[in-house]
Amino acid sequence: MAEYSRRQEALDYHERPKPGKLGISVTKPFSTYGELSLAYTPGVAEPVKAIRDNPSDAYRYTSKGNLVAVISNGTAVLGLGNTGALASKPVMEGKAVLFKKFADIDVFDIEVDADTVEAMIETVTRIAPTFGGINLEDIAAPACFEIENALVERLDIPVFHDDQHGTAIIVAAGLINALELQDKQIADAKIVCMGAGAAAIASMDLLIEMGVTRENIYMCDSRGVIHDERDDLSKYKAKFATRTDKRTVDDAMAVADVFVGLSGPDTVSKEQIASMPARPVVFALSNPNPEITPEDAKRVRDDLIMATGRSDYPNQINNVLGFPYIFRGALDVRAARINMPMCVAAARAMSELARRPVPRTVLEAHDRDEMSFGPDYIIPSPFDPRLIDFVPPAIAAAAIETGVARTDYPSHYPQPAIDIDDQ
């Protein structure tokens, strides 16, 4: 009965009083004949001519600069797999709501029936002039890598696959703080990554950029450790093929300071957690059911720091901490792309925010009397209103520093909370 009630509540929410979660509003006065003549003919001809002569004027006279496309082909929707493009629409609408709620970014959700990588690339390329940025979503690996890489090269606006880089940024932000609390250095930390899909590969790439030693990463798939003697690896897995005598997850876990799970539920045992060296960090991020529950992990280790993808446990690794604010910063300097230094800057800004005193509004949102930086608070709350003051400035500053910004640092922005070269 409870299951039915939850299902029906979700369906009712999406259906009533008006189907869906999005609408379009008019942003200019439109109540007189004169305003009609400005909004449409003949007045609309003037911005058309301006943009024809100077394409960058589209940012002055249209919504392009604050408009993101959330695009999916429906091949990897939540934990449901290949649902098809149309069935992905509720998720894409939900993503749009988060963009608008947290960073006041407008979104068109676009669901594409594309049978091939080439068809998806061609479709997105052709509609890209409408937008200031492209957020790819719920696209299965390895196609997601090929699609994103091609679009980054073809387009002059940010293209961001949130399932890859959004997850990676939040993982990195939390791991920086968890390792510090466990008195471990990022360059020395040995990491087991359970899973070798889009999120796993992007997360390990970013951690390497932030100081993790490549040889200290043991990426694992269904056949165990990805090592340099295997002959069954895709080019994406092959770059994480480690020269090691470790072959099983058991072997790798016994030396791992960090476990990052981006695979599936119940794939790590209590015995494996117990075998880890002192003061381990465990990120069990399969959602809704983690690789191991916090209850099981803490039964065998009382010295760990743990994060999951769930909101009912401490330290939720939640992409909403990232993508709205990352795009806000990128759009506000008209960035041509979101590059690795911008991802690093975002992760560092989030990790720094978690160390600051928690405001009363966050405590109220969590119904808590106290929250502070420590083992159960290594990452900011999604309800922290200061995210908008930390992440977009860091993104904008990094975009300018790396030469991908096309405007100056916004005058209404605060100074970045940390220098991008601080850490």
Q: Which residues of 243-263 are buried (b: 16+ CB within 10 A; e: fewer)?
A: ebebeebebbbeebbbbbbbb
Active site annotation includes 59? no
Largest CA distance in the chain: 78
| Signed CA dihedral, 79, 81, 110, 333: sign only | positive
Residues 413, 332 contacting (CB under 8 angstroms): yes
Q: Which among 339, 341, 334 has a CA at the least distance from the CA of 406?
A: 334
Q: Determine whether 140 is exposed, middle or buried from the number of CB atoms within 10 Å of its CB (0-12, 13-18, 19+).
A: middle
Q: Are strands 258-261 and 224-225 parallel, antiparallel or unpaired?
A: unpaired
List 21, 28, 49, 95, catalytic entry: 95
Name 398's Cβ contacts closer than 8 Å, sequence gap at least 6.
339, 341, 342, 344, 345, 420
| Cα distance between residue 7 and residue 230, in whole Å | 45
The beta-carbon contacts of 307-311 under 8 Å, at least 24 apart in sequence, are: 307/174, 307/178, 307/282, 307/283, 307/378, 307/379, 308/283, 308/284, 309/285
β-bridge partners, 310 = none
Active site residue 95: yes
Q: How far apart are CA 133 and CA 138, in angstroms?
A: 17
> Residue 21: exposed, middle, or buried by beta-carbon count in 10 A (0-12, 13-18, 19+)?
middle
Q: Name beta bridge partners: 282.
A: 259, 306
Peptide bond into 42 cis (omega under 30): yes
Contact 324, 103 (CB under 8 A): yes
305, 260 Cβ separation under 8 angstroms = no
- The residues, ordered by sequence, that sit 6+ positions from 140 with a Cβ below 8 Å of its Cβ are 75, 76, 82
What whole-number distance in Å separates Cα of residue 335 and Cα of residue 406?
Answer: 6
Q: Which residues are catalytic?
A: 40, 95
